[in-house]
Structure 1
Amino acid sequence: MTRKAAKPPLEQQVIWLIGASSGIGEALVHQLADRCLQLVISARNEDKLDQLSCKYQRISSIVADVTDLASMQQAARYIEDGFGRIDTVIINAGTCEYVDVQAFDSALFQRVLDTNLMGTVHSIEVALPLLRNSQRGYLVGVASSVTYLALPRAQAYGASKAGMRYLLESMRADLASEQIDVSVVSPGFVKTPLTDRNDFPMPMRISADEAAVAIVKGLQGRPWDIHFPKRFTRLMQWLAALPACARLAISRKTSTNSVKEASDER
């Protein structure tokens, strides 16, 4: 049996952070910039990337769109020419749109899946050759704790993140023989520009800085699932283990359609 290479410390790593311009991604920039050998950040927002890269010495930035494979290939070539490898890639780019089942819209699903799921696929495709140049590569994808329990209105977002989780777990099995580790990140509610648009209560919500601290701590141990805040994600995991009828009852209580039905009955 081939002996596994040691996990390189952050200080020796070239890290590519995809989706770095706001929210958790921006907070991760501040957590990682002074702790790794080199941080490459990418996103669609060039102005924000420039602002972030000017604050630290060991940051390089490149504009890239995860929904555009050619754009991601160009970013990977930039990294290969500059550093020759990636030790860790963190796929954080994502979006969220909520579904109105009374006006079911496949175009909405297409937009969310293109960014969250196909964006992850594109990122993996271009990052894998560079991860294979590492002593022990590390593939990380930011999914969501919504994958533990189906929630109302989250059909598109949840399906994309559940697909992402399945994809990463399959990659974990296939890449084990190459000594490339794989982790999925499963945040609870995190205060970001994306969640600021939510029109419902977000229990146990934490700041983007708190999320970034939890992720960086998890990166060092490389577990399969980096989930937080624990008091929320453990509750979600417990609910997910309930029988299907119980899960449905819980989900229905939070559904806006159930509220409407109750109102119609009065």
Structure 2
Amino acid sequence: MSTVLITGATSGIGEQLVKDYSAKGWQVIACGRNQEKLAQLESLDETVHALKFDVSDKEQTQQALTTLPALPDLWIFNAGNCEYIDDGVIDSDLMSRVMEINFHGVMRCIEVVQHQFAKGMRVALVGSIASEVALTRSEAYGASKAALSYFARSYRNDIAHKGVSVSLIFPGFVKTPLTDKNDFDMPMLISVEEASKRIIEGLNRGKDYIYFPRRFTWILRVIGTLPYQWQAKITAKLVGVKENGQ
């Protein structure tokens, strides 16, 4: 039986991944902060084992991940958060909160379990297409995912000799409790079921980079090749936000 560890398992994409991998017969180590939701996931099937901890807390992360019920073949670091900057007014506490979960939280997890990485394993990091194009109000979220993207590409090179693969996942807009809070247009929004399907398919195929939905992420990747001034004008219209707050 293959084993997968999934952080951010109590909501959104992570929760759906737990359900889908369990349905496929995998042993799933579901990691999250919500004890009630973790209990619900464990009740789905005996193949699901819950670990409660907060990736923003180093001590909790170390304690939870030091002894695992099984050694994962696949590690999916998915825990994430999003807060927006309004009117260009920078809030360093807000920036820190987002970075703590989206970037440093992943680093804390990897720091604890890296000695268990072995040939044939795959490490998957859930980033965002927002890391490839600057979007309005996304100074915190986009920067955290851009940091994760750079880390993944560099880390892949440094652990390749161990036979460990690294996949970077670039979702577009996915309907989750996190995006339900958005007050702007979300082009080509997809369900968590579709997102989970695309992730699982991509990982099964051994893809290093997984983009979805294909059309939307392709459009943003093309926009990312244009001069920065053009990018700003196009993306402001694309996500339904006017320039200069007007």
Query: Is the TM-score greater than 0.5?
Result: yes
| Equivalent in 129, 151, 154 of residue 135 of structure 2 | 151
- Tell me the CA shift for residue 212 of structure 1: 0.4
Q: Which residue of 2 aligns with 1:38?
A: 27
Identity of aligned residues (%): 38
1:27-106 matches, within 5 Å, as 27-79=16-68, 82-83=69-70, 85-106=71-92
- Tell me the CA shift for residue 250 of structure 1: 2.0
- Tell me the CA shift for residue 102 of structure 1: 4.6
- Tell me the CA shift for residue 137 of structure 1: 1.3
Deviations 1:30-58 (A, max 9, x none): 11013244110010001100001111121
- Tell me the CA shift for residue 257 of structure 1: 5.0
Query: Which ranges in structure 2 are unaligned for 5 or more consecutive residues?
Result: none
Task: Give me the TM-score of the superposition, normalised by structure 2.
Answer: 0.94
Q: Which residue of 1 aligns with 2:183?
A: 199
Any conservation in 2 of the 1:141–1:168 contact (CA below 8 Å)? yes
- Tell me the CA shift for residue 136 of structure 1: 1.1
State the AA in 1 paired with 2:141: Y
| Equivalent in 111, 117, 129 of residue 103 of structure 2 | 117
Deviations 1:162-208 (A, max 9, x none): 00011111111111100000011100000000000000000100001
How many angstroms apart in 1 are the aligned matches of 2:236 and 2:178?
Answer: 24
Structure 1's 23 and 175: CA in aligned 2 closer, same or farther, altered over 3 A?
A: same
How many angstroms apart in 2 are the aligned matches of 1:102 and 1:220?
Answer: 41
- Tell me the CA shift for residue 130 of structure 1: 2.0
Highest Rg: 1 or 2? 1
How many angstroms apart in 1 are the aligned matches of 2:236 and 2:103?
Answer: 26
| Equivalent in 130, 148, 156 of residue 164 of structure 1 | 148
Structure 1's 106 and 256: CA in aligned 2 closer, same or farther, altered over 3 A?
A: farther
Is 1:231 matched up with 2:218?
no
State the AA in 2 paired with 1:212: S
- Tell me the CA shift for residue 17 of structure 1: 0.5
Any conservation in 2 of the 1:153–1:255 contact (CA below 8 Å)? no
- Tell me the CA shift for residue 123 of structure 1: 1.4
Structure 1's 252 and 193: CA in aligned 2 closer, same or farther, altered over 3 A?
A: closer
Q: Which residue of 2 aligns with 1:211?
A: 195
How many angstroms apart in 2 are the aligned matches of 1:117 and 1:54?
Answer: 30
Q: Which residue of 2 aligns with 1:176?
A: 160
Structure 1's 103 and 248: CA in aligned 2 closer, same or farther, altered over 3 A?
A: closer
- How many residues align? The count is 244
Task: Give me the TM-score of the superposition, normalised by structure 1.
Answer: 0.87
Any conservation in 2 of the 1:142–1:184 contact (CA below 8 Å)? yes
